[in-house]
Structure 1
Amino acid sequence: MYIFFKKLAHHFQNGSCTFVAKNLFLAFVRTVGRYGHIIKRDIGNRFFYGTEAPTFCERIWVDATKVDWYITNQEIIRVTGEHRNLASGRVVDWSKLKEFKPLRNESKIDFCYRHWDEGHSWDELGYYEYMSRAHRHRNDTRQTIIDRFAMLDHAFEQSRATGTLQTRSELDPSSFREESGVLIHIGENGVPYFGGNGFHRMAIAKILNLKRFPACIGVVDRAAIPLLNRYRS
């Protein structure tokens, strides 16, 4: 708080209060917009679909051995008009989804199997170079990427010991529900589908055959709402 007021005083002295006010206002608008979306999703679902309806970024518990298919972000956008992260808790007509990909065929999943299941090093597999070409890591140094995968190796060993993954709140107490967790859509007959967030954690769960790991709910088939309780216990 002291640092905040010190910076605020600095802006007063330099005549840049307009800049501060603008940024505070924009931050306020972003916050209101974010929570407005959450409230709209939660209340809307409760009103239209009842007390068993999903909520935004709700934590569910999934059996990794049941997750065999992957739905791309492009497919979710095509059906809902929303990015997969914003579509969390969205109730859909599952018949509108047409594109499902075998999870095991995804390159990131395959790299993880070859590393953790077959024993090849990340370097040997060329995965550091592969990740450095990814858009989100384009500005990362090689050492940053190496350190990230050392953390993933630690997470793998921890999950092997505990039999599950950590929840988002265990990793970061300030997390909102299970936001940024492994994204799992719930389809026809309550079948789980990987949604594209958390590839490496999904791979850990698959390789270790975790029977119960925490995930962030994605879109949900309307007919599967009565089956959600199996994911909540």
Structure 2
Amino acid sequence: MALNDYPPLKPGNFLRALEAKVPQKFARDILNRLRFRDKAPLSDEALFVPLKDVHAAYFPDPKNGAPAFRRRHSGLVRGGDWDLSIRPLEESFKHLACRLHFVDGLPWEETGVYERHLRNIEKHGQSDGCRNLADLKRRYAGVDRLYDEVSQSRRLRPRSEVPGYFRREHGGIFVHIDRNGRALRRGGGEHRYAIARILDLPEIPVQPGVIHIDALRNGHLDRLRHSIHA
């Protein structure tokens, strides 16, 4: 890809690149390469995780060595016991709404998801990129199209294959990778993750957050770079 075709370098994406911390991630990629050579992770790179390996949710506990890692930390390699700070997976309000809609057949208006977003919009001016009811209806029409596509293909396409592609798997299902190469859920990509669970997909593309150094040393990252659909 030519540099002028690289989405983060396009003029219209300048602010988005800053918000996504692309310069900092680029610097991290260089440092990781110097430190780990061929095993080095790339920030925002697409990994392909068996759905059954998303076994817990990461629970930030800074006082006990488990910081609140976010998307901007993608590609960070960290040792220690941070990956032991976990709790059982819970269904978010978006996941519950997806289940009510796709499994129980309720229209989106009766799942409670619009009301939740509208309260957030009233309070913060926007919610999940939406600023009014019309935006919400367009967004959830897109969720319907995604569900139809995935139910037929039995796979979630990585972000590089969908419209609006920005950088690697940025904006995808967000997870951290623990010492055993398994995924710890930490928000982000809720609708995609909910659809994958409802349809019981064999694997999901993910945007990695923090990667435990033992997962890197033991070759788990190499394994997760290969999709069963390749």
Q: TM-score, normalized by length of structure 1?
A: 0.76
Aligned residue type for 2:195: I
* Structure 2 residue 212 is matched with structure 1 residue 214: no
1:116 matched residue in structure 2: 102
After superposing the two structures, state which structure 1 stretch, 152-161 or 162-171, moved more: 162-171
* Structure 2 residue 55 is matched with structure 1 residue 54: no
1:44 matched residue in structure 2: 31
* Distance in 2 (alpha carbons) for counterparts of 1:49 and 1:157: 41
Task: Show CA shifts across 1:31-89 (max 9, x none).
Answer: 6x9454123211211222331121111111122232232236x558x968675111001
1:201 pairs, out of 192, 198, 201, with 192
* Structure 2 residue 160 is matched with structure 1 residue 165: no
1:181 matched residue in structure 2: 172
Runs of 4+ in structure 1 deviating by more than 3 angstroms, as ranges, are 33-36, 78-83
Higher alpha-carbon Rg: 1
Q: TM-score, normalized by length of structure 2?
A: 0.76
* Structure 2 residue 138 is matched with structure 1 residue 137: no
* Structure 2 residue 221 is matched with structure 1 residue 228: yes
Q: What is the 5 A alignment of 1:89-108?
A: 89-97=75-83, 99-108=85-94
* Distance in 1 (alpha carbons) for counterparts of 2:69 and 2:154: 31
Q: Percent identity?
A: 28
Determine if contact 1:65/1:210 at 8 Å carries over to the other structure.
no
Offset, 1:98: 5.4
Offset, 1:183: 1.2
SS of equivalent to 1:166: coil
* Distance in 1 (alpha carbons) for counterparts of 2:93 and 2:87: 12
Residue-pair matches, total: 205
1:64 matched residue in structure 2: 51
CA-based RMSD of the aligned residues comes to 2.9
* Distance in 1 (alpha carbons) for counterparts of 2:164 and 2:136: 24
